[in-house]
Chain A
Amino acid sequence: MPINTRRPVRDAEESENHPLALAATLQHLRQLRELRVERERRTQHLSGEAAFCQDEFQRFEVEPEAQDSEVSDADGQDFAAPLQPCSYLSAGQAWAGRQRVSRSSASRDEDWAVIVRLQECDLPCGYVCGTMCAMNVPSAKSSVITFWEGEIIDNVHNTFVTSKWGAKVETDWKHWEQFSAFTPLHREVMRSGGRSSKLRDNGFVFMRWKEKQFLNAGDDCGLTIAGFYYICLNRQTGSIEGLYYDSASTPYQRLNLKPMCEGGQGHSFGHFEFR
């Protein structure tokens, strides 16, 4: 589905029933004004890149085979090689950390503890899902838990190009390039319709997590799940970096998570299987 880069992003999001990510809907006028200013600032900032991104976008449009091809592109690059298993990507794995705004001017209202639990990971299908629990959110009375579903960037089921949730191609680049682990892949991904032949042997797994619903709170809990997270998992350490994107929320909200040893003092792995 091609993205209309001229259309206000907000429209696209409203058409979604449950857009994503846990971010503060800033309730005070002061914050709302700040938000609008921020959006304008970003729009101006992006306009310089607009022509370039438009070009990129058209490349995707005229090369549908490149997007769909399961085996390789013209250079013989292997995009279809499946990702390798990772101990941390298993159901039951939990991470703990914080979500905060990375700007220096950030208020403490936008900084809280987060626990993420992975509940299902289907690597061959590029699918993950789980819950996210935000604790001590200043605007919420109690912890807020959401259910999210995720896409693993594997070239086959999902590419670096989001093409939904209100994310434009330039939105994707702007966020992915914040991860230093993305830098070595950047050029090829831009050339190859959002895919990379280096994913199989990469020390990082890239994902998108999209919150789908509140599990213990209503939509009036002061948080929004309108956006989504760009995610980068360090396979060696299990730590996760995330960047939240929602055009209506404070930009550059970062997620930093470390794998938890729940209950125990070392690593342990539970297991279930659907029958």
Chain B
Amino acid sequence: MVAKPEELMQYLRSQDSDTKLRAVRDIKNQVIGNKNKKLSFIKLGAVPQVMELLASETSESKLLVQCAATVGSFAYGLDDGVKAILDSGGVTPLLKTLSSNDESVVEAGVRSLKMIYQSPLAPKAMIFSLDALQRLVQLLSSENRGVAEVAARVLARCCESQEQQNAIACAGGLESLLGLLASIEQTRQEAAVDALAALTAGNRAIAQQVLQHAGVVDRVISLLKQRNPQTRFLACTCLTTLSTLDDMPALAQPSTSSADVESAGQSVQRAVLPVLVKLLGEAGVKDQVPRVLSRLIAMPPGASDSQKEYYVQLHSAATDADAIGKLVTFLHDDKSSPQLLQGTLSALATLCEQREDCRSQLIKARVLPRIVRALDDADSQVRAAACSCVRSLSRSVKSLRNSLVEANVADPLLRLLTDAEPAVVNMASAAICNLVLDFSPFKDVVLQGGCIPKLVELSGAMDSDLRLNAIWALQNLAFKAASEVKKSLMQAMPWSTVAPLLDDHQLEVQEKTLSLLRNMCHGKPADTRQVLDWSDHELLPVLIKKLRGPSAAPPKIKVQAVITVVNVAGTGSEAEKEAVMASGVPRLISALLLDPAEEVRANAAWIVINLCQKGDEFPGAADRVQSLRDLGIEAELQRVLHKDAEVLNVVERVKTAIALFKRSS
């Protein structure tokens, strides 16, 4: 016979300790695994009653054990239970049980905490107060295997910020967890890797500390073979973090495939990849897998050529394992959580960034409408990931022309340029860069949507990534743009806003700004004339300043500057050619012909070619040839011809230039 809830509630208030103990135990037994019972006891006010007993100084150990277990049961899998606990004093009484002299009380307390901390509502910060943290860390080394494992699970749920991670590590948590990982028991290893994955996520310093302990990586790798998908997933998460550090030490058993050239981190990534891709099909963990996958395969900014090649191979391995096919199912599923969507879109964005075959596979899967819908998702991380997916899909002439045409990506992206979340604006502006290109079917829509003033505004942003995206988009927009488009750009962007970008502390911003000017002067003679007016005739002096820079200056800046001069001399009419002659450019040509960068040398020759081109429309050509000859440029060209004999693009241009001098003599 089972006592009625109302009766049990009365017994809880009894003065007799045995009655109370029985009542608590009966309540616990009734609510375990029964959501309705939990709810009805919560309604009757059982939680504050039990919490009171738990907090009471006079309660005996047996009662404390039962109270702790009951509180945990109320919290397990039920947010209302957790709320009721928080409303009646929170976890403080439970944290106190950790300091009990009675081991059974400690065990019951920590188990109860584990159940509460599975809820996102749990007060994570509380364990960092009192000496609870110290106790939890001590428990990691407990002789009682259950206690150590449970303590690790509690700590694993309390790593939401770097401060929390650092506090746990400073309290000795890291060492103890590594000790737990070295245990021969699987459940303890699993709990340890859970906590290690959480402790190292996004925390470089702790991850580096982990790597200083020999054998850790091998131990975690061995967990990749466990049957439990959750364990495999946590091992993957942990290894993903560790493998992206530069100083990953060599493994005890290096993988046999080209281990001599491959870094240890890369071998680990190759080991993790197939496990993660397989986990995409595991219902229990799939929500979190794509996000980790996207971190694993993401190419770090500034990757070297050999790194790029490695990542392309890694992406091939992922697509060979049908990662795209599996990820796509999450997009087709309307019940996918925001976390799952964000991870999926990020992973797909990475896979499609470099490879046309991936782009066409994704397009063929007919998920474009879903991606476009995700651009308007309520979750800002989903919106940002959707933007980066669109960006990846638009990274070739072919896909831009063919694949994206049917989807209306332009309107939502334009809206996102004013999103409240800076990360979304950043990703949206990056995607816009591709949509404004000459051959983009969206160019007109984007222009009519008023993107020029918006991009100009963003080009003055404090955030340097945002500035780069904005000026990048303007550069692309000006490429082969119609004269009217150039005009509206000049109207929206006074020269006073261009000038600071030419001296931006980020060299890439300088480079793109020069490239914008280069495109502005690539078109009709009238365009170039207007650009010179727009700059109040500052353009040539600015370019000369960039070209006079030390020879150690980044070649990319000089290349853009020299080609802008080529374009002014090439598209301009006589007046612009004379302006170039009157500037300091002719005196610089000899130096440019000797520049270490091949592209600068070749384009120095193009300047000469454009200035010396003969014809009825160029009455001043003969005089210009003479002036350049007087500056010794013909002789310099002859020298370059011999010096650069191996460099085709220089030799070819120089030959053309020399021929123009000969014809004039």
Kindly specify which of B106-114, B115-123, B237-245, B647-655 makes contact with the partner chain: B647-655
Q: How far is the CB of A179 from chain B (nearest CB, A)?
A: 18
B residues less than 8 Å from A266 (CB atoms): 569-572, 609-610, 613
Closest B residue to A84 using CB positions: B648
Given contacts A84-B649, A85-B599, A86-B648, contact A265 B618 (CB under 8 A): yes
Q: Which 8 A-B pairs have the closest CB atoms?
A: A264-B571, A266-B570, A275-B433, A266-B610, A268-B570, A268-B567, A263-B524, A272-B479
Among the stretches B21-29, B75-83, B249-257, B434-442, the one at the interface with A is B434-442
Task: State how many angstroms separate the Cβ of B473 from the closest Cβ of chain A.
Answer: 8
For A119, A203, A212, the residue with the greatest tally of chain B CB atoms inside 10 Å of its CB is: A119
CB of A271 within 8 A of CB of B563, answer: yes
Q: Using Cβ atoms and an 8 Å threshold, which residues of chain B touch A275? A: 391, 395, 430-431, 433-434, 469, 472-473, 476
Q: Are A271 and B648 also in contact (CB < 8 A) when A87-B602, A129-B398, A265-B525 are?
A: no
Asked if residues B524 and A85 are in contact (CB atoms below 8 Å), the reply is: no
B598 interface hit (Cβ, 8 Å): yes
A92 touches B480 (CB 8 A): yes
CB <8 Å contact, B476 and A269? no
Question: B647 — which chain A residues lie within 8 A by C-beta?
Answer: 84
Q: Which residue of B has the minimal Cβ distance to A89?
A: B649
B479 touches A201 (CB 8 A): no
* A272, B569: Cβ atoms closer than 8 Å: no
Chain B 400-430 per-residue mask, 1 if CB under 8 angstroms from chain A, else 0: 0110000000000000000000000000001
Query: A64 CA to B656 CA in the complex, in Å?
Result: 42
In the complex, A187 has a CB within 8 A of chain B: no
Contact check, B609 vs A267: say whether CB atoms are below 8 A apart: yes
Chain A residues within an 8 Å CB radius of B527: 263
Can you list 30 A-B pairs with a CB-CB distance of less than 8 A? A84-B648, A85-B598, A86-B649, A92-B479, A119-B438, A119-B439, A120-B397, A130-B397, A147-B398, A213-B402, A235-B648, A235-B649, A235-B652, A236-B656, A263-B524, A263-B525, A264-B524, A264-B570, A265-B573, A265-B618, A266-B613, A267-B566, A267-B570, A268-B522, A268-B567, A270-B518, A272-B476, A272-B479, A273-B472, A274-B395
| Interchain nearest-CB distance for B563 vs A (Å) | 6
Residues of B within 8 A of A106 (CB): none
Find chain B residues with CB under 8 A from A203 CB.
648, 652
| B364 CB to nearest chain A CB (Å) | 13
Q: Do B438 and A272 touch across chains, with their CB atoms under 8 A apart?
A: yes
Asked whether, in the complex, the Cβ of A264 is within 8 Å of the Cβ of B617, the reply is no
Residues of B within 8 A of A270 (CB): 479-480, 518-519, 522
Please give the distance in Å from B558's CB to the nearest CB on chain A.
Answer: 14
B156 to chain A, nearest CB (A): 38
Residue of A nearest to B527 (CB): A263
A261 close to chain B: CB less than 8 A: yes
Interface of A: prevailing SS = loop
Let me know if A269 and B648 touch, CB within 8 A: no
Q: Residues of A contacting B480 with CB < 8 Å?
A: 92, 270
Measured between beta carbons, the chain B residues less than 8 angstroms from A92 are 438, 479-480, 522
Residue A149 interfacial (CB < 8 Å): yes
B519–A271 touching, CB < 8 Å: yes
Give the distance to chain A from B567, nearest Cβ to Cβ, in Å. Answer: 4
Q: Chain A interface (Cβ within 8 Å of chain B)?
A: 84-87, 92, 119-120, 129-131, 147, 149, 201, 203, 212-213, 215, 235-236, 261-275
In the assembly, what is the distance between CA of A265 and CA of B519, in Å?
A: 16
Query: In the bound complex, how far is the Cα of B567 from the Cα of A268, in angstroms?
Result: 4
CB proximity of B559 to chain A, nearest CB, Å: 10
Q: Which residues of A contact B391 (CB under 8 A)?
A: 275
Q: Which of B402, B437, B567, B617 contacts A269 (CB 8 A)?
A: B567
- Which chain A positions have C-beta within 8 A of B402? 213
Q: A215 to chain B: which residues have CB within 8 Å?
A: 401
Residues of chain B within 8 A (CB-CB) of A147 are: 398, 401
Q: Give Cα A201 to B646, complex, Å.
A: 8
A237 to B515, CA, bound (A): 25
A78 vs B659: C-alpha distance in the bound complex, in angstroms? 33
Least CB distance, B112 to chain A, in whole angstroms: 51
Complex CA–CA separation, A212 to B476 (angstroms)? 25
Most buried by B among A130, A265, A272: A272
Q: Quote the shortest CB–CB distance from B522 to chain A (angstroms).
A: 4
Question: Considering the chains assembled together, what is the distance between the CA atoms of A130 and B431 in angstroms?
Answer: 22
Check if A267 sits within 8 Å of B469, measured CB to CB: no
With most chain A CB atoms within 10 A of its CB, the pick from B519, B527, B652 is: B652
Cβ contact of B566, chosen from A120, A201, A265, A268, cutoff 8 A:
A268
B616 to chain A, nearest CB (A): 11
Asked if A87 and B598 make an inter-chain contact with CB atoms under 8 angstroms apart, the answer reads: no
- How far, in Å, is A177 (CB) from chain B's closest CB? 23
Q: Within the assembled complex, what's the spacing in Å between the Cα atoms of A130 and B472?
A: 22
Verify if B61 is at the interface (C-beta below 8 Å from A). Answer: no
Give the residues in chain A near B602, CB-CB below 8 Å: 87
**Chain A residues in 8 Å Cβ range of B560:** 271
Select from chain A the residue with minimum beta-carbon distance to B476: A272
Residue B199 CB within 8 A of the other chain = no
Inter-chain contact A267/B606, CB cutoff 8 Å: yes
